[in-house]
Amino acid sequence: MTPNEALITKFYTAFANADYQTMSECYHPQVHFIDPAFGLLKQKQVCNMWKMLLLRSKGNLKIEFSNVNADEFTGSANWTAAYNFSKTNRKVINKVVAEFVFQDGLIIKHTDSFDVWKWSKQAFGTTGYLLGWTGFFQKKIQKQALLSLKKFQETQS
């Protein structure tokens, strides 16, 4: 196992154990995170996002990961999250492909990709099925996610 494969494994093991502190320690101070739900997050926003998601899950989040690969500069992993979406209490199983860039032995860029339409059908039911593929609906999801993060960060100050 390469050092960066060990870092990815440490990150997802911490995620599976709801340990946002250890997850944060895997990130470079200048980290950038991108995913369909939040868009681009930078630095402390990234760690606060994971903290918010884990605290709000109240232990009702199951994380599994596989296919960890990394060299000196880049890496990837597949991971699955199973949880109840907080707004609708609907069961979601989200399959994610993660890509990483490393600097100074830490993750400096983390990109998560997943099928937003598939996710929105699970999270929102019929509404997600009908609208989840549209840019309008996806922007609305992102706007709400960022607002939730902003409110959470205000309580952390």
Query: Tens digit of pLDDT for each residue in 22-31?
Result: 999 999 999 9
- With CA atoms as reference, report the closest residue to 37 among 124, 113, 109: 113
In a domain, residue 144? The reply is no
pTM of the model: 0.92
Residue 59 confidence class, pLDDT cut points 50, 70, 90: confident
Domain count, the chain: 1
Average pLDDT over residues 95-105: 98
In a domain, 80, yes or no: yes
pLDDT of residue 157: 65
Amino acid letter, 149: L
Mean per-residue pLDDT of the chain: 94
d(Cα 122, Cα 89) in Å, to the nearest integer?
A: 10
SS3 94: strand
**CATH assignment at residue 80:** 3.10.450.50
What range defines the domain where residue 52 resides?
3-84+91-113
